[in-house]
Structure 1
């Protein structure tokens, strides 16, 4: 899976969770709001109407004055248009019958008193029905709030869990392959061309690892090819030096012998053992002729060397090996050089 798809999947999942969280929050807010609104709007109005009708009965003697009857009738009409609870309609109908008898001119005082008691009983019943409804709706509201709290808390936990996974894994998901790539490049810079990267996922990092492995393999092949060429060139030079009739001695910048042919060993009386890598300064301590050659680069007069009671003359010549070194600055590309050693020649001349 590509990195882009992984990112889209992770953040898409997080987006969906947040969307569900928001939708759930809005839903329960609407439910709680609606429940609270119904409780306040309908039942509270009914309690207001019953209070008005009870006040009329409490504040007036029988028979009721026409003004008080009008107030009672208006409150009763409002109540008849605001019936919401089971049993409230029957109680309101009974209240209407009692009120009709209460204001009937032909009714006696005893009948009016009985109608008043009935009206009060129905008012009490209506109030009890609405009070129970308020308690029930209040409990339902609390239950809804608790449920919403549980659901929203669960959604918050899931959202936090997904965020935690992203925060913990995302840096490693990006940084770990980059760290391995940096380590691989460090190994290649140290000429460890056998270094290989391998990522299990099929993403851009895998493609990068394949490109890195191809590069390392090509560099290794190139180095092997260059090394083969260098070895071949070194062998050719070695053979050429051995075939030269003149004495040849090569030393590096550390004053160590790089090459010396058979003729140089014979003239300098250094024996036949291998001298490659040995210090010429140490060898010259017990070899005055070698010391003379090292201390005198070029001399015009031939150098006389006694060999087996016979004296021969040799012309000495020394060449310093200067290796170019490219140094780049901000203004131009300059070529500088440093000494990589010397080559000393001894050519036999006629006395």
Structure 2
């Protein structure tokens, strides 16, 4: 029989005993209450009527009201006849009273008093009899309840003595077996021969011990070898590696990681990582779930090194059982990137002077005082002018990018009006819009508050939005430039809405990445793919936000918001 079935039967028996005791107690209490009520209703009331009639006789006035009271009590008594012989006595009382009313006589009063005495005696005897009956019933209830309680107590006592051993003994054996397993004695077995859940548990334990014994003798050497080899590989890696279990206790740390953290690796295993991090800023940074946007700069051996943090979750199926934190040394790449940034900045700066000279020479050539130009020469000059302007724009973007990458963005914060930014940007690009017959519509509330921002950088971003909108808008279309207070009432929101072909959703997440350009169906790409990336850096440097909303076929809406002054 299953242990669950045994428990269910035992609890069902106890429940039945409780229900039986409760039912018997309720039935007997109801019976006692009913019998007591009958005594009051059937006998005590009759005695009350007799008392009222005797009071009338004792007063012996026999006024009209006395006769009426006697008559009333006698009528009530006639309606409350419950005992044997009480009806005949009451009829005789009625007979004597009627005769008395016709001819008052003291002998009639004696007969009436005699009948009243008989009625009182009948009811008093009934009260005594019923009282004895109630007492007998009470004694029976007491005896039955004591008997049933004794039986239940004996059964419960037997259950308390015997049933715990049924469960405790196998559990005790299992505990002893587990202690032997913890001491690596995998030959320990349980000798429980049962057919319930405890027997199944014992058989499962014996099977586990058997498998562990097999594993101990067959795989231990290989497992230890693999463990040592893994530890050697981890220690030989050039990256710092920290391993934690699912509850953030340190499992291992390689030598490079220990040196970088300034900790002793041999004393860290098993410690709670957040406790260790309380006195170690670098470990606290590594345990932070957020991934830093920029490489971590760490000074090791009196030399600045740069690292990227990578967190790998270790899973067993769907269950997470730990994680590994890797600090990859990217110092050589960072140095190359820094050299690239410096090179771009130098070249861009050096190119601006000759390009500006070319543009000045083109202006002189366009002056008719130098000499007239034929149509072919004018066309070539316009082409050179467009190319030089494009080169100048590219060098400007490269210089801005070098400022962003080196973190040397020069910002001149002051209180400026949004109307001032939009007016300057639209006027600068009005000619380009008119060439494609594009209408620039400005929607500006009159009471827009001032913002705290850098005018040049903000205007640069808005001009970049506008130039992109003009480039990708069809001829004779409309571009909407709008500024309004944001929903949180703490920023001003600028937006540029065009009605071109729009941007697919899969490209919108990368639109602000450096050098990224949306594919253009095989058409030649214009620009460097740096404008929106630089715009993002400029806006975020001013504690603002930037974004895009676009639907293929319905145009795009680029926006940014800056805090109020």
**Of 102, 124, 127, the match for 2:120:** 127
In the alignment, the residues of structure 1 paired with residue 117 and residue 92 of structure 2 have an alpha-carbon distance, to the nearest angstrom, of: 12
> When the two structures are aligned, how many residues end up with a matched partner?
238
- Are the aligned partners of 1:17 and 1:159 in contact in 2 as well (CA < 8 Å)? yes
In the alignment, the residues of structure 2 paired with residue 216 and residue 335 of structure 1 have an alpha-carbon distance, to the nearest angstrom, of: 34
Match of 1:50 in 2: 50
Cα distance, 1:132 vs structure 2: 0.6
Instruction: Check 1:325–1:149 CA distance in 2 against 1; reply closer, same or farther (3 A cut).
Output: farther
In the alignment, the residues of structure 2 paired with residue 130 and residue 198 of structure 1 have an alpha-carbon distance, to the nearest angstrom, of: 77
Instruction: Check 1:220–1:332 CA distance in 2 against 1; reply closer, same or farther (3 A cut).
Output: closer
- Are the aligned partners of 1:187 and 1:193 in contact in 2 as well (CA < 8 Å)? yes
Superposed, which structure 2 residues align to 1:1-351 within 5 Å?
1-60=1-60, 64-105=62-103, 112-223=105-216, 330-333=249-252
**1:150-181 C-alpha deviation (Å, 9 max, x unpaired):** 22223333443344344434443333222100
In the alignment, the residues of structure 2 paired with residue 31 and residue 186 of structure 1 have an alpha-carbon distance, to the nearest angstrom, of: 61
**1:263-299 C-alpha deviation (Å, 9 max, x unpaired):** xxxxxxxxxxxxxxxxxxxxxxxxxxxxxxxxxxxxx
In the alignment, the residues of structure 2 paired with residue 92 and residue 218 of structure 1 have an alpha-carbon distance, to the nearest angstrom, of: 98
- SS of match in other structure, 2:102: coil
- SS of match in other structure, 1:103: helix
Question: Larger deviation: 171-180 or 35-44?
Answer: 171-180
- Are the aligned partners of 1:91 and 1:126 in contact in 2 as well (CA < 8 Å)? yes
In the alignment, the residues of structure 2 paired with residue 201 and residue 87 of structure 1 have an alpha-carbon distance, to the nearest angstrom, of: 73
Match of 2:542 in 1: none
**1:45-93 C-alpha deviation (Å, 9 max, x unpaired):** 10011111112122116xx443322211111100000011111011101
In the alignment, the residues of structure 2 paired with residue 47 and residue 5 of structure 1 have an alpha-carbon distance, to the nearest angstrom, of: 62
Q: What root-mean-square deviation, in Å, do the aligned CA atoms of Structure 1 and Structure 2 show?
A: 3.1
Larger radius of gyration: 1
TM-score, normalising length: structure 2: 0.38
TM-score, normalising length: structure 1: 0.60
Cα distance, 1:333 vs structure 2: 2.1
Cα distance, 1:142 vs structure 2: 1.2
Instruction: Check 1:226–1:27 CA distance in 2 against 1; reply closer, same or farther (3 A cut).
Output: same
**1:34-54 C-alpha deviation (Å, 9 max, x unpaired):** 111111122111001111111
- Are the aligned partners of 1:198 and 1:206 in contact in 2 as well (CA < 8 Å)? no
Cα distance, 1:192 vs structure 2: 4.2
In the alignment, the residues of structure 2 paired with residue 29 and residue 117 of structure 1 have an alpha-carbon distance, to the nearest angstrom, of: 44
- SS of match in other structure, 1:139: helix
- SS of match in other structure, 1:118: helix
Instruction: Check 1:20–1:122 CA distance in 2 against 1; reply closer, same or farther (3 A cut).
Output: same
Instruction: Check 1:200–1:135 CA distance in 2 against 1; reply closer, same or farther (3 A cut).
Output: farther
In the alignment, the residues of structure 1 paired with residue 131 and residue 193 of structure 2 have an alpha-carbon distance, to the nearest angstrom, of: 58
**1:95-123 C-alpha deviation (Å, 9 max, x unpaired):** 11111111114xxx6xx333222211111
- Are the aligned partners of 1:47 and 1:130 in contact in 2 as well (CA < 8 Å)? yes
Instruction: Check 1:201–1:83 CA distance in 2 against 1; reply closer, same or farther (3 A cut).
Output: farther
- SS of match in other structure, 2:69: helix
Instruction: Check 1:332–1:201 CA distance in 2 against 1; reply closer, same or farther (3 A cut).
Output: closer
| Higher relative contact order, structure no. (Cα contacts within 8 Å, ≥ 6 residues apart) | 1
In the alignment, the residues of structure 2 paired with residue 325 and residue 163 of structure 1 have an alpha-carbon distance, to the nearest angstrom, of: 60
**1:289-335 C-alpha deviation (Å, 9 max, x unpaired):** xxxxxxxxxxxxxxxxxxxxxxxxxxxxxxxxxx8898x98324258
- Are the aligned partners of 1:325 and 1:335 in contact in 2 as well (CA < 8 Å)? no
In the alignment, the residues of structure 2 paired with residue 103 and residue 187 of structure 1 have an alpha-carbon distance, to the nearest angstrom, of: 108
In the alignment, the residues of structure 1 paired with residue 193 and residue 51 of structure 2 have an alpha-carbon distance, to the nearest angstrom, of: 79
In the alignment, the residues of structure 1 paired with residue 192 and residue 140 of structure 2 have an alpha-carbon distance, to the nearest angstrom, of: 46
Runs of at least 5 residues in structure 2 that lack an aligned partner in the other structure: 223-227, 232-242, 256-565
- Are the aligned partners of 1:18 and 1:159 in contact in 2 as well (CA < 8 Å)? no
In the alignment, the residues of structure 2 paired with residue 130 and residue 140 of structure 1 have an alpha-carbon distance, to the nearest angstrom, of: 15
